[in-house]
Amino acid sequence: MSAILLLVLSAGSVMASNWDRGVSRYNMGDYRAALAEFQDIVRERPDMAGAWYYIGLCEFKLNRYKRVDLPLSRAIDLLEVQSPGNANIEGAWYTIGFSHYLLGDYAGAIDPLLHYRELASKAGRQLDPNAGRALGRAYFFLERYDEALPLLAASPAAAASADANTDSYYLGLIYFKRGDDDRAIASLQESIKSKPDDAAALELLCSSLMRRARKGNSKADWLKAADAAEKLRVVRDDLKTANLLGPAYLGAGQFDKAVAPFEKLAKANREDGQAWLYYGIALSRSGQIRKAMEALEITIQIAPDSIPALSELAYIYESDKQYQQALRIYEKAYAVSGSSDATVKQSIERVRALASQQQ
């Protein structure tokens, strides 16, 4: 017979009847009726630990998380005197912690959940993995990443589990913020396995792959980034996605595929010289010369001193054997650079020679 039930029986048959009805209604899911029974008990016997405990559980089940702390704290105080070592002390701390977590009070969730884990461990009882998961996420939301990492990594990763997907995403985000793209990519790929259409995970995966591609000059990573961005486009075809898809294809050298997303960006941002520049480069490298000239001319109207735009436009004219026009633009780019760009200087010398041969 449990310690709580013994305490109830010692209080008399009427109270025991209230207790039995309360427990029965709680077990049937009628939490409002159960709550009323336990409240009747504590009005008569305010030292009844078990009734306070069930009041807290009923409030939790009714999603009234702000009302959980008081009755369960009272239950803990009484149980520590009346029945030390009772497993309901752990349960009370667990429920208090989860209530704070569900309210978004992550700082308030930590100590109760730590109390629960400490008591359960000392008693040799199996820890509820959800407590570790909630604790890890609380640390995550508080940006206490050193404490969050081991808890999130230890969370059970059941196949096709929404919880596993979320934990892997949080791990990936932590690693991404720390610049650890290898671990970020692995975690985000794991996250996407259970939820292939998770826009946040796909976006972060693409960004991490592109950052690693830049560091290692890896075409394979650029292609993986483009693949992630294409999957994201199916879920969310917007400017943010285009801003990932275009650079990914550009980095992979697939210039024809980069044209459409850069066109979308440029036409949505008429005064954005950078968007027009990349659109022009994608057109130029994919052989769409006339359109490339137009896009780069717009770039130069917006940003007259853009050396990349001037150099790309000059290169197009050079490729089209319009050497005088190319020479004029190269010279402008060289002047803008302060006569310090050796690459542009070499281009000037090369085109000047070609222009003299053409005469």
What's the confidence (pLDDT) of residue 1? 44
Question: Is pLDDT at 158 greater than 60 in this prediction?
Answer: no
Crossing angle of helices 49-61 and 31-44, in 10° steps, is: 150
Domain ranges for the chain, please list them.
Answer: 157-253, 259-295, 304-359
What residue ranges in the chain does DSSP mark as E strands? none
Q: What is the mean pLDDT of residues 346-353?
A: 90
Q: What is the mean pLDDT of residues 113-129?
A: 94
Residue 299 makes CB contacts below 8 A (sequence gap 6+) with 273, 276, 277, 280, 306, 309
Average pLDDT score, the chain: 92
Residue 78's alpha-carbon distances to 7, 243, 245, 336, in angstroms, are 11, 60, 61, 80
| Residue 13 confidence class, pLDDT cut points 50, 70, 90 | low
Q: What percent of the chain has pLDDT over 90?
A: 82
**92 touches 53 (CB < 8 A):** yes
What's the confidence (pLDDT) of residue 160? 45
- State whether CATH 1.25.40.10 applies to domain 157-253: yes
| Residue 356 confidence class, pLDDT cut points 50, 70, 90 | confident
What's the confidence (pLDDT) of residue 3? 52
What's the confidence (pLDDT) of residue 157? 53
Question: Is pLDDT at 358 greater than 90 in this prediction?
Answer: no
Residue 334 in tokens: 């060289």
Single-letter code of the amino acid located at 257: K
What's the confidence (pLDDT) of residue 156? 60
Question: Is pLDDT at 162 greater than 90 in this prediction?
Answer: no
Question: Is pLDDT at 349 greater than 50 in this prediction?
Answer: yes
Give residue 173's Cα distance to chain centre. Answer: 5
Backbone angles phi, psi at 114, to 5 degrees: -65, -40
pLDDT digits (tens, 9 = 90+) for 204-232: 999 999 999 999 999 999 999 999 999 99
Give the angle 173-174-178 at the CA atoms, nearest 5°.
115
pLDDT digits (tens, 9 = 90+) for 138-149: 999 999 999 999
Residue 32's alpha-carbon distances to 28, 88, 166, 190, in angstroms, are 11, 21, 33, 42
Question: Is pLDDT at 203 greater than 90 in this prediction?
Answer: yes
| Residue 161 confidence class, pLDDT cut points 50, 70, 90 | low
Neighbour-count burial of 46, counting CB atoms closer than 10 A to its CB (0-12 exposed, 13-18 middle, 19+ buried): exposed
The pTM is what?
Answer: 0.84
pLDDT digits (tens, 9 = 90+) for 244-281: 999 999 999 999 999 999 999 999 998 999 999 999 99
CA-based nearest residue to 190, from 165, 213, 170, 161: 165
What's the confidence (pLDDT) of residue 159? 41
What's the confidence (pLDDT) of residue 110? 98
Rounded to an integer, what distance in angstroms lies between the CA atom of residue 7 and that of residue 42? 13
